C-alpha cells in the first residue's frame, strides 16, 4: 500500500490532519472525516473532547407544537419543519436533545444524576454513529482515523470506541500506534485539574506516570508523534482566563475589572516534550490558544477550536524521517 512507503528519508512525507475539541458538533465531525480526501492526508488524528456540553429538552405542548430554550431564549416550534431546523442548529452547536412530554421533563429538573445518565446515553449513541460513519466514509481508502477522549469525555461514553470493530476507526488512547512504517504515535487524553471539575482530570504526577508507561514501548521517540490533549504548561498554547472555582459556573477572576490570564497546561507534558524531543506535539484543550511553539527541535501545535460555529480548526503536519517538513493551520 502506498501509505506504508511514505514518511521515509527521500520519500514523500506522510501527511497528518489533526483536530481536537469538537464537543459533539455533528457537522464539524463530518468535516473532520471529509478532511482526509479534502486535504489529501494519510491519517486523521483526533485530540480528544468528543462529547457535547449541553442537553436541550424539546417539550411537547400537546397542541402539535414544541417548546425549548436555547441561548437564553425560549423557542416555540409550531411545525415539524421548525422543529427540524431547530434540532439541526443544536447538532451544529454540539448540543444533545430529546423530545419529551412535560411530565417526563419534570423528572429531570434538579436531578443531576438522571441528567448525567441522559447525557451519557445520547453521547454514546452519537459516538457509536460517528464510528460507523467513519468506517463508511473511509472504506476502501488507506486512511485511518485515530480517535480518543479528552478531559470532558466520560469513560462510559468512550466505551463506544471499543465496542466497534477496528478497521478505519481506531481507538488510539494510552497505547503506541504505528502511523506508517517509520513513525509511531502515543496518545494521552487527560488534562490537569480544571475549575470545571471535568470527568477525566489527573494530577501532574499521574500524567507524568502515564507518559512514562506508554513511552516504555516507543523505541525511537524522535520518530514519535505526541498526541496529548493537554498542552504544555505556560507555552502560549495554553493561555486562558483564570477562573474562580468557588462559584458555579466558574467565573473569570478580575483585577481592576480586567481578567487574569494564566497557563492551563501541564508541566508533565512540557517535561516530556523537552526530555524526549519527539517528532511533533499535537495538543488541544484550550480552544482560544491557537498557535505553535517549539521545544528544542520539537514543534508543538494547538489549532484551537470553533466547533460551535461549525468550523473545523485543524493543522496539517507533513512528516518525513525525523523531521516535520511542513505544517499548515486550517479553518475549514
**257-276 positions binding other proteins, by CB under 8 A:** 257-261
Residue (214 or 316) nearer to other proteins, CB: 316
| Minimal distance, residue 177 CB to other proteins, in Å | 21
Distance CA 288, CA 307 (A): 12
Phi/psi of residue 60, nearest 5 degrees: -70, 140
Query: Which residues from 109-128 bind other proteins, rule CB under 8 A?
Result: 109, 115-116, 118-119
Q: Which of 7, 18, 22, 31 is close enough to bind other proteins by CB under 8 A?
A: 31
| Minimal distance, residue 119 CB to other proteins, in Å | 5
Residue (199 or 321) nearer to other proteins, CB: 199
| Minimal distance, residue 113 CB to other proteins, in Å | 11
Stretch that binds other proteins, among 158-166, 215-223, 231-239, 271-279 (CB under 8 A): 231-239
Q: How many residues of this chain interact with other proteins, rule: CB under 8 A?
A: 88
Task: Give which of 305, 49, 52 is closest to 201, Cα–Cα.
Answer: 49
Regarding 84 and contact with other proteins (CB under 8 A), the answer is: no
Task: Give which of 273, 263, 268 is closest to 300, Cα–Cα.
Answer: 273
Q: Which of 156, 215, 250, 277 is close enough to bind other proteins by CB under 8 A?
A: 250
Residue (190 or 214) nearer to other proteins, CB: 190
Regarding 56 and contact with other proteins (CB under 8 A), the answer is: yes
Regarding 2 and contact with other proteins (CB under 8 A), the answer is: no
Residue (80 or 102) nearer to other proteins, CB: 102
Regarding 61 and contact with other proteins (CB under 8 A), the answer is: yes
Stretch that binds other proteins, among 52-60, 139-147, 171-179, 216-224 (CB under 8 A): 52-60
Q: What is the dihedral of CA 170, 171, 172, 175, to 10 degrees?
A: -120
Helix (H) or strand (E) holding 157: helix 155-162
With b for 16 or more beta-carbon neighbours within 10 A and e for fewer, the 253-288 pattern comes to beeeeeeeeebbbbebbbbbbeebebbbbbbbbbbe
Three-state secondary-structure class, residue 4: helix
Regarding 225 and contact with other proteins (CB under 8 A), the answer is: no
Helix (H) or strand (E) holding 298: strand 298-302
Residue (67 or 164) nearer to other proteins, CB: 67
Regarding 156 and contact with other proteins (CB under 8 A), the answer is: no
Q: Which positions from 187 to 216 touch other proteins by CB under 8 A, shown as an x/- string? A: -------x-xxxx-----------------
Classify the C-alpha dihedral 25-31-36-40 as positive or negative. negative
Classify the C-alpha dihedral 73-79-83-89 as positive or negative. negative
Q: Retrieve residue 285's grid coordinates.
A: 484543550
| Minimal distance, residue 116 CB to other proteins, in Å | 6
Regarding 218 and contact with other proteins (CB under 8 A), the answer is: no
Q: Count CA atoms within 13 Å of residue 155 on its CB side.
A: 4
Regarding 8 and contact with other proteins (CB under 8 A), the answer is: no
Phi/psi of residue 135, nearest 5 degrees: -60, -40
Query: Which residues from 160-189 bind other proteins, rule CB under 8 A?
Result: none
Stretch that binds other proteins, among 178-186, 202-210, 212-220, 302-310 (CB under 8 A): 302-310
Classify the C-alpha dihedral 195-199-203-208 as positive or negative. negative
Residue (26 or 210) nearer to other proteins, CB: 26
Distance CA 94, CA 81 (A): 20
Distance CA 278, CA 209 (A): 17
Q: Which of 8, 105, 159, 208 is close enough to bind other proteins by CB under 8 A?
A: 105
Regarding 62 and contact with other proteins (CB under 8 A), the answer is: yes
Amino acid at each position: 500500500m502506498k501509505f506504508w512507503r511514505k514518511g521515509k528519508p527521500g520519500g514523500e512525507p506522510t501527511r497528518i490532519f489533526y483536530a481536537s475539541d469538537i464537543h459533539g458538533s455533528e457537522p464539524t465531525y463530518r468535516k473532520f472525516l471529509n478532511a482526509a480526501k479534502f486535504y489529501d492526508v494519510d491519517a486523521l488524528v483526533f485530540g480528544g473532547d468528543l462529547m457535547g456540553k449541553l442537553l436541550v429538552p424539546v417539550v411537547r405542548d400537546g397542541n402539535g407544537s414544541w417548546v425549548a430554550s436555547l441561548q437564553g431564549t425560549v423557542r416555540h416550534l409550531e411545525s415539524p419543519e421548525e422543529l427540524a431546523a431547530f434540532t439541526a442548529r443544536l447538532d451544529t452547536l454540539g448540543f444533545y436533545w430529546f423530545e419529551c412530554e412535560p411530565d417526563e421533563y419534570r423528572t429531570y429538573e434538579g436531578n443531576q444524576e438522571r441528567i448525567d445518565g441522559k447525557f451519557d446515553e445520547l453521547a454514546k449513541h452519537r459516538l457509536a454513529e460517528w464510528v460507523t460513519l467513519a468506517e463508511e466514509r473511509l472504506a476502501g481508502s488507506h486512511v485511518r482515523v485515530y480517535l480518543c477522549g479528552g478531559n470532558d469525555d466520560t469513560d462510559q461514553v468512550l466505551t463506544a470506541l471499543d465496542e466497534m470493530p477496528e478497521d478505519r476507526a481506531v481507538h488510539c488512547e494510552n497505547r503506541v500506534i504505528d502511523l506508517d512504517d517509520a513513525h509511531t504515535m502515543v496518545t494521552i487524553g487527560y488534562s490537569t485539574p480544571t475549575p470545571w471539575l471535568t470527568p477525566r482530570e489527573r494530577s501532574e504526577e499521574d500524567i507524568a506516570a502515564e507518559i512514562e508507561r506508554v513511552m516504555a514501548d516507543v523505541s525511537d521517540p524522535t520518530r514519535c508523534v505526541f498526541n496529548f490533549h493537554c498542552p504544555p504548561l505556560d507555552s502560549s498554547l495554553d493561555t486562558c482566563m483564570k477562573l474562580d472555582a468557588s462559584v458555579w459556573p466558574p467565573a473569570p477572576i478580575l483585577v481592576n475589572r480586567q481578567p487574569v490570564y494564566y497557563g492551563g497546561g501541564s508541566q508533565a507534558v512540557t517535561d516530556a516534550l523537552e526530555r524526549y524531543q519527539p517528532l511533533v506535539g499535537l495538543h488541544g484543550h484550550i480552544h482560544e490558544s491557537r498557535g505553535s511553539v517549539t521545544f528544542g527541535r520539537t514543534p508543538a501545535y494547538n489549532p484551537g477550536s470553533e466547533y460551535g460555529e461549525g468550523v473545523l480548526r485543524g493543522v496539517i503536519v507533513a512528516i518525513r524521517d525525523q523531521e516535520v517538513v511542513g505544517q499548515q493551520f486550517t479553518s475549514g
